[in-house]
A and B are shown apart, each in its own frame.
Chain A
């Protein structure tokens, strides 16, 4: 990593590669610092995070509930499965312009783009989790006298948790992606807008420093979820 940065700096400094296209790590860092010192970046971060988190929450909730109903009721599965598969087949990006037409340039279309991406990831993971509940655990609970609700709360949900966490972690990435891509397609603020705008102005340095911010946000969120997962799933044997 350090080597790559050093090489990059060296090439740009010596004029062996044009900083116009690839910028320089030192300028990127300075721009990165300036963005925060001037406070200019905060509204953008806030707007993007808002769309990301709302989209993530809605997508997770929608995916889990749909997966649960599908795993539990054959009727629902028969009706919804073709529909879900059909929508899943559409490249979500192609829906972007439609969303903007429907929901306008504001936060709603970004939320929807994030939502639809998260939804599918969460849906497939949760469905796998619900279908893979050990029948012997369900039977054991039945034989102990558990009713249906108790089986759901005490057996099905906890045993699906590892799957739900996998979905959440994958969903995190696509939620941010959805929000940023939404901003690319059309918006007036947000990190995606910042990149888009800088790109149009040929401000490569700004493009890189914004990318750096995005990647930091991603790492932070990922780390947070990872820690929560480690604590909540502490009953799992650690893999070697």
Chain B
């Protein structure tokens, strides 16, 4: 069942949308033992357009991370294909940046050297790379921390560095796998605001996986709901909330509340299903 809600207002100030990702009939299996396979994803299809902020929600263990690994080119789907900008994705693409749940900063590098990390694989001179990194560090409000090592930063600051490290390589798509899940509520809200700002300024395509429905609705143009494993795309909601959005205020908007209720009802069924499956496993 696919529910499509019409967008109430279309923001004409945005550039023309074009098809960016096209996920077609993707299924994925993991070998469970010598005979059986564990089906993680089943027949998943959806499109992502440029400059879109897409959130993917689903019960835990539903294969969201597998889907992201496939979209980033780290993994190949067992069946089906992923097209990125009209080309078949066959490995890691330079158009894609990836932010994971755990920060993956290199502990032996300073903030500055962490931000230039991705540029080292792109034949950019050290001086120029540092220029880019310094600019991004300043913009993200981390000035003065250039020479700090990751262990000297707070969780929220590390996440910011993680994000600007990806911004430094200037990808067209940023894939984020539950990026704020490990942070406390206040830090998470600040970072939601930050990522909305980044998105507004750079107009990159963002694919954002989360298990926090409020976060998904706050940020995204569209929320995809994944079912309990083997996962399919159960529903596809358009989030027709006005922008710019303030994370702390938008949640009192009646449309927000209505959307939250509808999607939560839908999601709850899946969460219960996945709980039941887990209990049966044990």
Interface residues of A (CB under 8 A from B): 134, 136-137, 139-147, 150, 154-155, 158-159, 161, 233-237
Contacts and interface: CB of A to CB of B under 8 A. Distances in A.
B108 A235 contact: yes
Contacts of A142: 74, 92
Contacts of A234: 149
Contacts of A145: 92, 94, 118, 121-122, 169
Contact of A150 (B74, B121, B149): B121
B198 interface: no
B109 A235 contact: yes
A140 B97 CA distance: 9
Nearest to B107: A235
Contact of B92 (A143, A235, A236): A143
Contact of B98 (A143, A158, A236): A143
B104 A140 contact: yes
A143 B108 contact: no
A134 B106 CA distance: 10
Contact of B120 (A134, A139, A154): A154
B117 A144 contact: yes
Contacts of B89: none
A139 B121 contact: no
Interface string B81-114: 0000000000010101110101010111110000
Interface of B: 72, 74, 92, 94, 96-98, 100, 102, 104, 106-110, 117-118, 120-122, 149, 151, 169
7 A-B pairs closest in CB distance = A140-B104, A144-B118, A237-B151, A145-B121, A235-B108, A143-B98, A235-B149
Nearest to A158: B108
Contacts of B102: 136
Nearest to A142: B92
A79 to B, nearest CB: 25
Contacts of A141: 117
A9 B2 CA distance: 92
Given A158-B106, A158-B108, A235-B108, A140 B98 contact: yes
A235 B151 CA distance: 8
Given A143-B98, A235-B151, 13 more contacts: A134-B104, A139-B104, A140-B100, A142-B74, A143-B72, A143-B97, A147-B121, A150-B120, A154-B117, A154-B120, A159-B107, A235-B108, A236-B107
B147 to A, nearest CB: 11
B99 to A, nearest CB: 9
Contacts of B97: 143
B121 A146 contact: yes
A233 B169 CA distance: 28
Contacts of B108: 158-159, 161, 233, 235-236
A137 B122 contact: no
Given A155-B106, A235-B149, A236-B107, A143 B74 contact: yes
Contacts of A154: 106, 117, 120
B112 to A, nearest CB: 13
Given A143-B96, A144-B169, A235-B109, A136 B104 contact: yes
B118 A137 contact: no
6 contacts: A139-B74, A139-B104, A143-B97, A143-B98, A145-B121, A161-B108
A137 B106 contact: yes
Nearest to A234: B149
A12 B118 CA distance: 69
Contacts of A136: 100, 102, 104
Contacts of A155: 106
A157 to B, nearest CB: 10
Nearest to A145: B121
Nearest to A162: B108
Contacts of B74: 139, 142-143
A135 to B, nearest CB: 10
Contacts of B107: 159, 235-236
Contacts of A236: 107-108, 151
A210 B36 CA distance: 68
Interface centre among A137, A140, A144, A145 (most CB of B within 10 A): A144
Contacts of B98: 140, 143
Nearest to B118: A144
Contact of B121 (A144, A158, A159, A161): A144
B173 to A, nearest CB: 12
Contacts of B122: 145
B151 A137 contact: no
A155 B108 CA distance: 10
A153 to B, nearest CB: 10
